[in-house]
Structure 1
Amino acid sequence: MKTLSIDIETYSGYDLSKCGVYKYAESPDFEILLFGYSVDDGDVQVIDLAAGEHLPPEILNALTDDDVQKWAFNANFERVCLSRYISDMDISLDPFADNHHSAEILGKAKYLNPISWRCAMIWSAYMGLPLSLEGAGAVLGLEKQKLTEGKDLIRYFCSPCKPTATNGQRMRNRPEHAPDKWEAFKAYNRRDVETELSIQERLAKFPVPDTVWAEYTHDQEINDRGVALDMALVRNAIKADTRSRTELTRLMKELTDLDNPNSLQQMKQWLADNGMETDSLGKKVVTELLKDAPEPLGKVLSLRQQLAKSSIKKYQTMKNAVCADGRARGMFQFYGANRTGRWAGRLIQMQNLPQNHLIDLEDARWLVHDGDFAALELLHDNIPDVLPQLIRTAFIPKDGYKLIVADFSAIEARVIAWLAGERWRNDVFATHGKIYEASASQMFHVPIEEVTKGSPLRQKGKIAELALGYGGSVGALKAMGALEMGLSEEELRPLVSAWRSANPNIVKFWWDVDRAAMKAVRDRTMTETHGIRFGYQSGMLFITLPSGRRLSYVKPRIGTNQFGSDCVTYEGVGGTKKWERIESYGPKFVENIVQAISRDILSYAMQTLRHCSIVMHIHDEVVIETGPEMSAEILCQQMSRTPPWAEGLLLIADGFDCSFYKKD
């Protein structure tokens, strides 16, 4: 046996969408119902475990044999669930037999070794296809596609049901309660394996590089390891939020006499009755209204703003997702952003955690941790502002360990300067590294010494750097908050011109990439610029990065943009979250390329740190759980090493030790 393709159907009392697969598989009533499989692309078999059938010995052995490659769509689900299934069987195999078994069938590991697992969903993502079996099958036009009735069958058999007089007050539907549905469920399970095999067959001429599979294995190890949560802090943060919301609502009722001051309609009517007409009570609108709102309207709007910020969703997710050993797992989706291959967040969504700016962060943290709500309310008059800033601090090391947080400095700015050959920027990164100050100096032709921290020039340099690197103009500056930062509408257009004049090589890079992509698609050929290759093959546009990894764009063609000019269009998941035709152009491709290379640099650093216990990684940052002997300085030196495929790129990482996760 070389390969084993698998799809399973499971039951658990836990809600998978709320807790993730690691917690889901810990449920006391967890059970694998159906096991569909194909050996070496042969006929699909379905084992009805719910009816008392057993896995054949050769299949059971294959699950723990690292010489047999296991395939599934979203393989993390199958691997974690089968880890629980096998550990429940309490089988012991001969650890000295020559069979390459994974950690003696989980004797030393909690989860099956991911090294021999492959994921058809990752393959689909690598090819720019949707991250769902149904979506990938539809785009590829497969003959055997996922059966649409599956969702209803999963709802019926895989989750607890509501007890009613009709169903005899039962809490769960079993095969004998609906034999016809059960037969349909087995057909659905069989079809899923067939669809997965069809996807693999269709993509066979575009194999995923071994280097990417090695990254996937490492990603699975990090997800399996998880990170410890301070559950006392989590539980008390939820309690503090409840207390705060109750008090804020009481004060608003007292001031307004409204039955429900949280009601948008009631609040708008109350404001109108008191001389303040408004169509919206969004964050920006309320901020504007507060500037000259008379009392008590100002007080009410301020309270409403606090209530709007009072969100404990992430704390609640932590509570839902934490495993029995106090660790949260499965927070990172490999290749979640299939345009660049970057990771996406799952469950707690690490990629969008609120920042922490509290001066007394540690003191506030301990007040919440200890449940000292009276002191918390005495020292902090805005609890809804405090609690989000403590979310990061809920991630902690295990006892006797510390966290080291290390991140790359200005990674995207360094990558684009390196690719474009913008010499003055590379000189900045080779010396003092103050890119905002240097950018302002270059744009406004003043000595860098005159661009001091907090000065208007530095502010302009910063906003320009953040907004304009990928072809952005006035709209990008506004979206980045230029007007809120104090810039006037009249300053924006000259700011765009100044930045582009100061960075001619980056501007040239945008349009060189635009021409290369257009030529590759129009002439169905291979072309290259700035060390990046563009090629058309079998209805795909491939962009080959310096690392050798390829970005994939489905069914590219030359279209016409809103300005009447030619542009490259392709199919993908767009802003509507649906599969659609997407317009692109040079600066947008450059954004994909730069972010993808930045991702490859992070991945390279993570691979070189594989001997360390990486517990989290967010954008360009790595968090390691380690003993007191490891030094942040040495870790950053290791991270700062340039990959062999990026000669001349200047990298630097900064880091610090901490007893809980935070932004330094």
Structure 2
Amino acid sequence: MKTLNIDIESYSRTDLAKSGVYRYAEAPDFDILLFAYSVDAGPVHVVDLAQGETIPDVVRQALTDDGVIKWAFNAQFERTCLSRYLNTPIHPTSWRCSMVWSAYLGLPLSLEGAAIVTGADKKKLQEGKDLIRYFCKPCKPTQVNGGRERNFPHHDPEKWVAFKRYNQRDVETEQAIQDKISRYPVPEQEWGHYVLDQIINDRGILLDPVFVEAAIACDTATREALMNRLRTLTKLENPNSVMQMKDWLAEQGVETGALDKAAVHELLKSAQGDVAEVLTIRQKLAKSSVKKYTAMKQVAGKDDRARGLIQFYGANRSGRYAGRLIQVQNLPQNHVPDLKEARDLVRASNLEALDMLYPSVPDLLSELIRTAFIPKEHHQFIVADFSAIEARVIAWLAGEAWRNEVFATHGKIYEASASQMFNVPLEEIDKGSPLRQKGKISELALGYGGSVGALRAMGALDMGVEEEELKPLVQAWRQANPKIVQFWWAVDQAAQKAVKQRTTTSTHGISFTYQSGLLLVGLPSGRHLSYVKPTIVLNDFGREGLCFEGIGATKKWERIDTYGPKLVENIVQAVSRDLLAHAMQRIEQEGYAIVMHVHDEVVVEAKQHVTVSDICALMTDQPDWSSGLNLKAEGYACMFYQKD
């Protein structure tokens, strides 16, 4: 036996979507109902575990045999559930994920979606979701069903037969997808990164359960008090109702078409008296980030560690990692100066002191979310991240010499950018200088073809830049960075030529190959980005542009227009991701334990003798393919997760 394709159907009272597979499989009533498998792409067999059948010994042994490659669509689910079922940890070394393969090729991250796009979905059963709902989740007790809370095979034998067919069909569909995409294998190096990702997810990160519970209690009490105050001020039955609140505001002489975050912020600029207080309270109640504490409680396992927070290849345009469950990729920043003291007050549930010392308890709880993550006993967190990684990568790829010189020396890119844009000596631009502010906003907004709209979206007007300054800022930045501008349009031309002529082109060390309905963009690491069914169309500007199929802004499979600067953004973020993946491999190879990573930052749970420089040195131990790139990492040690 060389390969094993697997699909399971399971039951658990725990909500998989909210708690993740690790907590799901920990539930006391967790059970595997059906086990479908195929050996070496042969016929699919279904083992009816729910009705007493057993997995053949040879197959059972293969599950933990690193000499046999195991395939599944979203293999983390199968591997984690089987680890619990067999009551033995199953290491991810010999597991491969068809969902990752689909993502690598720019395909949907669902079995059904990937099957449809590849043409592998010939006869997939459509009733699958209903069958899963019937057999895999608790049911509502009723008089009709005898008050039962779960459906077993004997409650509907016909449905059970259909469920077994569905289980078999999932393996057949997965095999059909693999057959369709077999010409485009995932590089072995990427499978190495996937295995490390699974190790990090299996390890998880410790949560402080006392702090999490106290934060939820503080939030509940604070919200209740704020709602009572709103009722007192407005006399409304439901102050949460947008319609009722709009009517109340209209009675106070304040007309508004919306009450979202931006609208409330704008209204507060001129509000007075009760209206100002009501809007301020509404602003506090809208703080949705505190819901992350509830998510933490739902995800934490019996050992208080949260697992499954990172999805490998979650962003399938660039291959970057994505956050799941607690969504660690969008945690609020902390700016409270007395972070430990504030955290201790919350942990002690001292709501009276919190109300007295801080203007907004919901705001404070939001800023303290990061601090819920803690290292295990006798350990510390070392947090290290790449400094200005995307700015360094784009300068390196484009060959923008003055920028590379900045990164090779002092690294002050905002000041240097302003100096270059406005022809002012670098030493005359300090941290409080308006020119530095303009350099900063330009750097953040304009690197990927952004113009006036990008500056506005990045908050340029709120930062004191005048409307009439926006267009000149765009022009000044582009004139200061001619190599980057050239890079955008060289990529645009190379990609279009590859698609038009069904050939391979290259520019700036990046290759573009059209092959059987895919545009493959070759990165310095050897990895490829993939654009499905690329075509050349007339864009909104009446010029020829590239169009492809993918998951768009609507979260659905659709045609997406792109062009040089956007392709450059994908390329730069992909290269940055490859550097992070390499850095994580180096850190783990040296015996350090990564428990989480967020964007370009890694969080290491390390013994007290490990230093920040130990980890930063490994972060900047560059791969051979990045010669000439000026990489820098900075970090700090802490006893709870925080933004330094």
TM-score by length of 1: 0.96
CA distance in 2, matches of 1:580, 1:58: 44
* Cα displacement string for residues 486-506 of structure 1 (whole angstroms, at most 9, x for unaligned residues): 222111111111100110000
- Separation of aligned partners in 2, 1:454 and 1:264: 41
Q: Which residue of 1 aligns with 2:610?
A: 630
| Shift in CA distance, 310/582, structure 1 to aligned 2, threshold 3 Å | closer
Q: 1:657 is paired with a residue of what secondary structure?
A: strand
Tell me the residue number matched to 2:27: 27
Which residue of structure 1 lines up, in the alignment, with residue 6 of structure 2?
6
Q: Does 1:364 align with 2:342?
A: yes
Matched with 2:102 is 124
Contact 1:310–1:384 (CA under 8 A) maintained in structure 2 = no
After superposition, the CA RMSD in angstroms is 0.9
* Displacement of 1:381: 2.4
Q: In the alignment, is residue 413 of structure 1 matched against residue 428 of structure 2? A: no
Report the residue type matching 1:250 in the other structure.
Answer: N
Aligned to 2:211: 233
Q: Give the distance between the partners of 1:195 and 1:144, measured in 2 at CA.
A: 8
Corresponding letter in the other structure for 1:205: R
Q: CA deviation at 1:346?
A: 0.7
1:356-395 maps to which residues of 2 (within 5 A)? 356-395=334-373
User: How many Å apart are 1:533 and its aligned residue?
Assistant: 0.6
* Secondary structure of the corresponding residue to residue 312 of structure 1: helix
Corresponding residue of 1:309: 287
Instruction: Find the counterpart in structure 1 of residue 36 from structure 2.
Output: 36
CA contact (8 A) 2:210 2:347 kept: yes
Q: Secondary structure at the match of 2:108?
A: coil
Shift of 1:146: 3.5
- Specify the code of the residue in structure 2 equivalent to 1:115: T
CA contact (8 A) 1:9 1:35 kept: yes
**TM-score normalised over the length of structure 2:** 0.99
Shift of 1:641: 2.1
SS at match of 2:625: coil
Q: CA deviation at 1:250?
A: 1.4
> Counterpart of 1:320 in structure 2: which amino acid?
Q
| Cα distance, 1:482 vs structure 2 | 1.2
CA drift of 1:455 comes to 2.1
For each residue in 1:328-352, what CA deviation from the matched residue of structure 2 results, as whole angstroms up to 9, or x when unmatched? 0001110011110000111011110
- Within 1, Cα distance between the matches of 2:513 and 2:151? 52
The amino acid of 1:31's aligned partner reads D
Matches within 5 A, 1:501-650: 501-610=479-588, 611-650=591-630
Contact conserved, 1:556 with 1:568, CA < 8 A, in 2? yes
Letter in 2 for 1:306: K
Q: Aligned residue for 1:59?
A: 59
Match of 1:91 in 2: none
Deviations 1:191-215 (A, max 9, x none): 0000011111111111111000000
CA distance in 2, matches of 1:165, 1:112: 43
Q: What amino acid maps onto 1:81 in structure 2?
A: C
Q: C-alpha distance in 1, partners of 2:576/2:2?
A: 35
Work out whether 1:322 is the aligned partner of 2:307: no
Partner of 2:38, secondary structure, is strand
Match of 1:76 in 2: 76
CA separation of 1:255/1:52 partners in 2, compared to 1, >3 Å: closer, same or farther? same
1:160 to 138, 146, 160: 138
Match of 1:133 among 108, 111, 125: 111
Structure 2 partner of 1:294: 272
Alignment of 1:426-465 (within 5 A): 426-465=404-443
Give CA-to-partner distance per residue, 1:7-42, whole Å, 9 cap, x none.
000000101011000000000010000000000000
Is residue 416–residue 594 contact of structure 1 (8 Å, CA) maintained in 2?
yes
Contact 1:137 1:145 in 2 (8 A): no
Amino acid at match of 2:513: G
Partner of 2:85: 85
The answer to whether the Cα contact below 8 Å between 1:137 and 1:199 also exists between their aligned partners in 2 is: yes
- SS of equivalent residue, structure 2 residue 272: coil
Displacement of 1:556 in angstroms is 0.7
2:643 is aligned to 663
Deviation for aligned residue 1:450: 2.1
CA–CA distance in structure 2, aligned partners of residues 374 and 285 of structure 1 = 31
Partner Cα distance (2:463, 2:127) in 1: 52
Residues 487-496 or 51-60, more deviating: 487-496
Q: SS where residue 241 of structure 1 aligns? A: helix
Q: How much does 1:458 deviate?
A: 1.1
How far is 1:311 from its partner? Answer: 4.3
- Checking the alignment, whether the CA contact within 8 Å between 2:445 and 2:455 is kept in structure 1 is yes
User: For residues 184-263 of structure 1, what are the structure 2 equivalents within 5 Å?
Assistant: 184-263=162-241
Q: CA deviation at 1:131?
A: 0.3
Query: Residue 519 of structure 1: SS of its match in structure 2?
Result: helix
Q: In 2, Cα distance between the equivalents of 1:645 and 1:501?
A: 30
8 A Cα contact 2:290 2:362, kept in partner:
no
Q: Secondary structure at the match of 1:471?
A: coil
* Conservation of the 8 A alpha-carbon contact between 2:34 and 2:167: yes
SS in structure 2 at match of 1:660: coil
Instruction: Measure how far apart 1:310 and its partner are.
Output: 5.5
Identify the range of structure 1 (284-293 vs 536-545) with the bigger mean alpha-carbon deviation. 284-293
Does the CA contact (< 8 Å) of 1:26 and 1:84 recur in 2? Answer: yes
Once residues 510 and 132 of structure 2 are traced to their aligned partners in structure 1, the CA distance between those partners, rounded to angstroms, is 45
Q: Deviations over 1:411-467 (max 9, x none)?
A: 000000001111111111011101011111111111112221122111111110000
Specify the SS of the correspondent of 1:123.
Answer: helix
Residue 102 of structure 1 aligns with which residue? none
Structure 2: distance between partners of 1:332 and 1:292: 43
* Residue 285, structure 1, aligned to residue 259, structure 2: no
Residue type at the aligned position of 2:3: T
Secondary structure in 2 matching 1:36: strand
Measure, in 1, the Cα distance between the counterparts of 2:516 and 2:8: 33
Structure-2 separation of matches of 1:640 and 1:543: 25
CA distance in 2, matches of 1:368, 1:342: 35
- Cα distance in structure 1, aligned partners of 2:291 and 2:282: 18
Runs of 4+ with deviation above 3 angstroms:
143-146
Question: Is the 8 Å Cα contact of residues 642 and 650 (structure 1) preserved in structure 2?
Answer: no
Amino acid at match of 1:661: Y
Give the distance between the partners of 1:486 and 1:262, measured in 2 at CA: 34
Kindly state the Cα deviation for residue 126 of structure 1 after the two structures are TM-superposed. Answer: 0.5
CA distance in 1, matches of 2:609, 2:289: 38
What letter matches 2:299 in structure 1?
Answer: A
Aligned to 1:492: 470
Please say if residues 205 and 373 of structure 2, whose CA atoms lie closer than 8 Å, have aligned partners that are also in contact. yes
- Residue identity opposite 1:26 in structure 2: E
Counterpart-to-counterpart distance in 2, 1:116 and 1:433: 42
Tell whether the 8 Å contact from 2:290 to 2:369 is kept in structure 1 after alignment.
Answer: no
SS at match of 2:397: helix
Structure 1 unpaired stretches of 5+: 88-105
Secondary structure of 1:261 counterpart: coil
Partners of 2:225 and 2:288 in 1: CA distance: 12
Aligned position for 2:249: 271
* AA aligned opposite 1:640: T
Report if the CA contact (8 A) 1:311-1:388 is conserved.
Answer: yes
Q: 1:467 aligns with which of 434, 445, 458?
A: 445
Query: Which position in structure 2 is the counterpart of 1:653?
Result: 633
1:398, 1:327 → 2: CA distance? 10
Report how many residues are paired: 642
Partners of 2:272 and 2:56 in 1: CA distance: 76
Q: Indicate whether 1:479 and 2:447 are aligned.
A: no
What is the distance in 2 between the residues matched to 1:258 and 1:79? 52
**Are 2:112 and 2:121, in contact at CA under 8 Å, matched by a contact in 1?**
no
Q: Distance in 1 between matches of 2:125 and 2:570?
A: 34
**C-alpha separation between the residues in 1 aligned to 2:277 and 2:375?**
41
Q: What is the letter of the counterpart of residue 336 of structure 2? A: L
Work out the CA distance in 1 between the residues paired with 2:424 and 2:412: 15
Secondary structure at the aligned position of 2:35 is classed as strand
